[in-house]
Amino acid sequence: MKQCLLFLSCKNTEEADKISYELLGEKIIVCAKKIPINSSYLWKNKIKSSQEILLIMDSIEENFEKIDIVVKKLHSYKTYNLVMTKVDKINNKALKWLQKNMLHPNITV
């Protein structure tokens, strides 16, 4: 088991809530932070900008595929960008909290 952070931009707060509540309910993430962002990106050879909500989610690497399946089902974007980064260090109390709340057969506290 290796902790990770996942990043996902969402169309609005309602979409971010819907996705994060589903993932929390399935216990494949333990926390979702929602931050308003201004995004600029290339789309069909044009520069676009939009207001979005960035989800930063705490989970474990082994859950990436499960998370992606849920996001694909609920996300409004045809091309969404779900990014995972590994966590090298985490304080002991936060690790125990993650282990206690994550649905994973190989976790022991």
pLDDT tens-digit readout, 65-104: 999 999 999 999 999 999 999 998 888 898 888 888 876 5
Decide which of 3.30.70.120, 3.40.50.1780, 3.90.226.10, 3.40.190.10 is the CATH code for 3-81. Answer: 3.30.70.120
Where would I find the H helices in 3-106?
A: 13-25, 64-74, 92-101
Tell me, what's the pLDDT at 95? Answer: 84
Q: Region 6-16: what's the mean pLDDT?
A: 98
Report whether pLDDT(106) > 70.
no
Q: Give me the long-range contacts of 19-27 (CB less than 8 A, separation at least 24).
A: 19/55, 19/70, 19/71, 19/74, 19/75, 20/55, 20/57, 22/70, 22/74, 23/57, 23/67, 23/70, 26/66, 26/70, 26/103, 27/101, 27/102, 27/103
Tokens of 104: 């994973």
- The residue ranges of every structural domain in the chain are 3-81
Tell me, what's the pLDDT at 103? Answer: 67
Quote the distance between the C-alpha of residue 86 and its chain's center. Answer: 13
Tell me, what's the pLDDT at 108? Answer: 40
Note the pLDDT tens digit of each residue in 17-67: 999 999 999 999 999 999 999 999 999 999 999 999 999 999 999 999 999
